[in-house]
Structure 1
Amino acid sequence: MTARTTVLAPQVRDAMVALGAAAKKGLGDPVLAELVMIRASQINACAFCLDMHVDVAVEKNGEGAERIALLNAWREAGELYSERERAALALTEAVTVLTDGFVPDDVFEQAAKYFDEAELAHLLGVITVINSWNRLMVSRRIEPGGPAW
């Protein structure tokens, strides 16, 4: 299958963009949102989303190259990521993979220590939206810079 150069489902794209914007706005931390989206995209091997969100994290939000480069190994990166970021990244991985069919209680409880109920709902929204984008882009084999659905 080859990538198409036109947007075939603009209503789907527009709804996904709006949902993602609402989730990120309610989270309130644009750097954290980008870290979450990059980590989920790493797990899902979505080159399109990785390219986009690394660029946004660095160019728009001033994220450092070291934190981006070590995101795949965030658990081993020492104090490079805050406890709040670590809780969000653990939740991201649990929601993205869902190997046991659910998010482990300890992962959810750890995130709930650092995010109030509304923030946690928005964080889950960001994680859900990026996983949806990853699946759309990977299933269509959209390369970096290609059309966003």
Structure 2
Amino acid sequence: MTTEPTARLDLATAAPKVAKAMAELTAAAKEGLDPTLAELVQIRASQLNHCAYCLLMHTRQARKRGESEERLNLVSAWQEAATFFTAQEQAALALTEAVTLLPNGVSNEVYARAAEHFDEAELAHLIGVIFTINAWNRIAVSTGKVPGEE
């Protein structure tokens, strides 16, 4: 049974220091990463977490950066549509899924695949983007953020 989203609270108003810290952490995590890659990661995690608010926000941002509709439509099926994504993007999306779906764990194979495409600093930032979007997804879902309402 689905229900219409109902805004519960605004984190920035109720806990401004938490919201500010999250925004700063997110910005720090993205440093040095390709912005398109960061958007793809945020889109995939938001899909997995069923966070409509973040999904809408990041698909809009990706479009503004020039991302194609074809690729945006295929993020959820990136493995089956591998020719649409670079090897680096595929490695990042695989790591995103592993980190987001933690009960399955992050296998050595998935980690090694990512490490082939990112140096240590880039990999650390990629993991940072993955865990910050997961935190934002949980904030948006638990506080009832309504998609399209900024």
TM over 0.5: yes
Residue 34 (structure 1) aligned with residue 46 (structure 2): no
Partner of 2:16: 10
Inter-partner Cα distance in structure 2 for 1:11 and 1:137: 17
Please give the residue correspondences for 1:1-149 in structure 2 after superposition, counting only pairs within 5 Å. Answer: 2-4=6-8, 6=10, 7-27=13-33, 29-59=34-64, 61-100=65-104, 102-146=105-149
- Report the Cα offset of residue 69 of structure 1: 0.5
Which sits farther off after the overlay, 133-142 or 114-123? 133-142
Q: Which amino acid aligns with 1:23?
A: A
- Report the Cα offset of residue 25 of structure 1: 1.4
Inter-partner Cα distance in structure 1 for 2:82 and 2:61: 24
Could you tell me which runs of 5 or more consecutive residues in structure 1 were left unpaired when the two chains were aligned: none
- Report the Cα offset of residue 139 of structure 1: 1.2
Inter-partner Cα distance in structure 1 for 2:82 and 2:51: 26
Tell me the secondary structure at the aligned position of residue 99 of structure 1.
helix
TM-score of the superposed pair, with normalisation by structure 2: 0.91
Inter-partner Cα distance in structure 2 for 1:15 and 1:114: 29
Q: Is the 8 A contact 1:49 1:144 kept in 2?
A: yes
State how many pairs are aligned: 144
- Report the Cα offset of residue 130 of structure 1: 0.1
Q: Is the 8 A contact 1:5 1:146 kept in 2?
A: no
- Report the Cα offset of residue 5 of structure 1: 6.1
Tell me the secondary structure at the aligned position of residue 108 of structure 1.
helix
Inter-partner Cα distance in structure 2 for 1:112 and 1:124: 11
- Report the Cα offset of residue 4 of structure 1: 3.8
Where has structure 1 moved over 3 Å in runs of 4 or more?
none
- Report the Cα offset of residue 113 of structure 1: 0.1
